[in-house]
Amino acid sequence: MAIPAYAVATYLSQSQRSKGPFEGPLERPMLTEVARRKALPGEKNRKLYDERGLFLLVRPSGSKVWRMKYLFAG
């Protein structure tokens, strides 16, 4: 039985995490409420990472959508 990627990522050391599929989100601090509110739209979509694959997508229209980066059976 394979161990899910999200379970493995919680037990890896910091040096090992940078080699996995969640490279961006795991190396950033958690997104604060103030940063979420103050996120301004730009010309392109912006990703503000929280942790473990969760990020806030800020669209040029000004809408803010929570998304999750994950692997399924991979």
Of 1.10.287, 3.30.160, 3.30.43, 3.40.50, which CATH number belongs to 5-68? Answer: 3.30.160
Report yes or no on whether pTM surpasses 0.95: no
Domain residue spans of the chain: 5-68
* H and E: helices and strands count for the chain: 4, 3
Given this model, what pLDDT does residue 70 score? 86
Taking phi over 0 as left and psi of -120 to 50 as alpha, with beta for the rest, 61 belongs to: alpha
Q: Is pLDDT larger for residue 16 or for residue 50?
A: 50
The mean per-residue pLDDT over the stretch 5-22 comes to 47
